[in-house]
Structure 1
Amino acid sequence: MNESKYIGIEQDRHNGMTHLGRIVRDAWVFGILPESETCAGWDHSQMQNLYEKVHAAWAPYGHLPSRLPADLKDRHTRIYKQAIQTAKAKGWNPELGEDD
């Protein structure tokens, strides 16, 4: 968050492969937000509320994608596969560094 505002998933580091970016993507998976919503300009309170909704949506599935029903699992796979491909194309390395 920069100056208490989220810059949006499209401007986030590594194509949104960050904690906040994952919250936005998971909100897309569960239909909490439309996939067109990037959350650009959202303040801390809005992001916290979104986090709480996403956390509650994951709870019945133990926060594990493998436990999602088929329709949600397919959506999760599609959204994250595209995000990972784009992030890698932009130079993101999924390996943890010494600072991670």
Structure 2
Amino acid sequence: MAQQRPVYPGIHQDQYGGMTDAGRIIRDAWVFGILPETETCEGWDYGRLEQLHAQVLEAWEPYGHLVSNLPDDLRQRHERIYDEAVRQARAAGWHPDPSGDD
């Protein structure tokens, strides 16, 4: 009998309101227009998320992986997407780790 591969629950069902590595990859994909903001990646296998991660890393490359280097339109989209994510996560009880590990 074939063993089922684990699948991602989707950013809205992810731990900490999606404040995880997978959630960050998905949000960054939204920022760069790699995925529409309606795509939650629910049901994706982790191999597919790894492929998305590679695309996101490539999209960040011209900007040195720094939000401050993004052009205004991308920086504003990043701010909107991440501000909303933090607001929702905090409302769900998430608190950032002061050590920076979260």
Pair in the same fold by TM > 0.5: yes
Q: How does 1:1-100 map to 2 (within 5 A)?
A: 3-96=5-98
Work out which of the two has the higher radius of gyration on C-alpha atoms and give 1 or 2.
2
Aligned sequence identity (%): 57
Per-residue CA distance 1:69-99 (angstroms, 9 max, x = gap) = 00000000000000001101111001247x8
Per-residue CA distance 1:24-61 (angstroms, 9 max, x = gap) = 00000000000000000001221011000000000111
For structure 1, the residue ranges without an aligned partner over 5 or more in a row are none
Secondary structure in 2 matching 1:54: helix
What amino acid sits opposite 1:76 in the alignment?
H
Distance 1:67 1:4 in 2: 36
Q: TM-score, normalised by structure 1?
A: 0.91
Distance 1:44 1:85 in 2: 26
For structure 2, the residue ranges without an aligned partner over 5 or more in a row are none
